[in-house]
Structure 1
Amino acid sequence: FRVRSSSRRRRPLNLRRILAANFSLVTSLDSELTAMEYVNPEGLRLDGRRFNEMRQIVAEVGVVSKADGSAVFEMGNTKVIAAVYGPREIQNKSQQKNGHALVLCEYSMAHFSTGDRRRQKNDRRSTELSLVIRQTMEACILTELLPHSQIDIFLQVLQADGGTRSACINAATLALADAGIPMRDLAVSCSAGYLNSTPLLDLNYVEDSAGGADVTVGILPKLDKVTLLQMDAKLPMETFETVFALASEGCKAIAERVREVNKWCSESFKQH
């Protein structure tokens, strides 16, 4: 690929015309998707996956040099970076917990991660997700082994295409492991939805925005415990059990991937 320079003078770009054209294109696409089947008669979704197929997972640890532990976790086009600092001395003594480490979590979205420029770092959703992720991480960290200490987890969504909550939990788990934080088990998460009368694993943004139910599950796989269960719409009990089971299977598949990454990192560290 080569870049060619030209001496010809180009017309200045009409930004208003370009934005108007892009807006009309998005509007027309949205109207087409409302009438579209998200699962075709052959059982394929819009991105070519089957109902029980996850998006491609890519994970890497040790990506932030100044952090005690860090990781990047990708699920399809969703990409999250996590950084862990600690255990270290508690900065605010009033927050100290008797005999347990203090776990703090901060979630944010990069301004370029979505098309919504109005989203701010400290908006209501970010605060809510920070609390949810913090509680999930507290369930897996052996906080009793680190009394009078503080563990800070920072998460930032770099690309958002559905499943950001689950991707953050998975990234945080990898970053904690990279930092050498003692854990009773891996905390992993995955979502599943119900769309066009079909249960679907690992919804992307288009599927998640279609108005169907979305169930996010977090588990400790070895201990067989559920640490997170959130649902944004009502479902009949039988349907819910099917969707929940599908999300749980997705969690187990992610746990295997996380273990592989941890094992590879441990072996690589020993070699160096």
Structure 2
Amino acid sequence: MAITELSALLKGMAGLELLSEQGYRLDGRKAGELRKLQARMSVFAQADGSAYLEQGNTKVLAVVYGPHETRGSRAKSLHDRAVINCQFSMATFSTAERKRRPHGDRKSSEMSLHLKQTFEAAVLTQLYPRSQIDIYVKILQADGSNYSACVNAATLALVDAGIPLRDYVCACTAGFVEDTALADLCHVEESGGGTALALALLPCSGNIALVQMDSRLHQDHLDKLMEAAAKACQDLSKVLDGVVRRHLEEVSDLTKH
């Protein structure tokens, strides 16, 4: 009986209509519409920079330390630029799955590497030779587009730390439902079985910091998916810029008083 119920439930999920005939998604958004993004900077006093970000129901905390002298082996330090160290983790309560998440599991290591590659393309590391910048990112609640939310939160934390960037780094996912490209996927849309693409973009120059795809995609569809993700990144850059400007206004108001 329990197995029958489970298979019925899975069938129901498989038949879930991710896009209505009117072009609306499960949460009422249009195809290219972003989830609501809210963020605060300077949330962790002990760090050089920090930010808390909610992208839909995905919630992230990012903390930055540095630039500081490289710790441990001197062989790690680079004579002409800073080393960027990224560590990604997920809170044990971040998903409905109750399995233990060891700190060094493969997915976390992969995500840490992707974040490192992303910020090496954006931080002006040459200004800090023989030093290190640490970026710690933790998912507090996961509901899709985890990598993107981490990049956006870490960008705000780096700005808060006063570390010079070439540009904001904005990241967003895009995926196909039938022939429609959807931007900023939630967990249900990511789990729908279609191809999902994550893009990290420097919006002013249009330079790509990272592209990541979890499955194969026909070449004809790639442009459409990249276009949807890039447009969403451009929209996100305005939102992040608004967060930074509001934070600067709050700080200047405090210093006046």
TM-score, normalising length from structure 2?
0.93
Report what 2:11 is aligned to. Answer: 31
Report what 2:135 is aligned to. Answer: 153
State the structure with more CA Rg.
Answer: 1
The reply on whether 1:99 has 2:59 as its aligned counterpart is no
Classify 1:264/1:194 alpha carbon distance in 2 versus 1 (closer, same or farther; 3 Å): same
Q: Structure 1: which 5+ runs fail to align? A: 1-20
Residue identity in the other structure for 1:141: V
Q: Distance in 1 between matches of 2:179 and 2:187?
A: 18
Residue by residue over 1:1-30, the C-alpha shift from the partner in whole angstroms, topping out at 9 and shown as x without a partner, is xxxxxxxxxxxxxxxxxxxx9x99876543
Report what 1:204 is aligned to. Answer: 186
Residue by residue over 1:96-132, the C-alpha shift from the partner in whole angstroms, topping out at 9 and shown as x without a partner, is 0121011100000000001222332210000000010
1:199 positional shift: 1.1
- The CA RMSD over aligned residues, in Å, is 1.8
TM-score, normalising length from structure 1?
0.88
Structure 1 vs Structure 2: percent identity of aligned residues?
Answer: 41
Larger CA deviation: 174-183 vs 37-46: 37-46
Larger CA deviation: 29-38 vs 76-85: 29-38
Classify 1:25/1:226 alpha carbon distance in 2 versus 1 (closer, same or farther; 3 Å): farther
Residues 137-148 of structure 1 mapped to structure 2, 5 A cutoff: 137-148=119-130
Report what 2:157 is aligned to. Answer: 175
Equivalent residue for 2:58, pick from 68, 78, 90: 78
Residue by residue over 1:154-207, the C-alpha shift from the partner in whole angstroms, topping out at 9 and shown as x without a partner, is 000000000000000001100000000111111110000012232111111011
The reply on whether 1:110 has 2:102 as its aligned counterpart is no
Report what 2:234 is aligned to. Answer: 252
Aligned length: 252
Report what 1:267 is aligned to. Answer: 249
Whether the aligned pair in 2 keeps the contact of 1:37 and 1:196 (CA below 8 Å) is: no
Report what 2:166 is aligned to. Answer: 184
Report what 2:70 is aligned to. Answer: 90
1:45 positional shift: 1.2
Whether the aligned pair in 2 keeps the contact of 1:38 and 1:196 (CA below 8 Å) is: no
The reply on whether 1:240 has 2:186 as its aligned counterpart is no
1:78 positional shift: 0.3
Residue identity in the other structure for 2:206: D
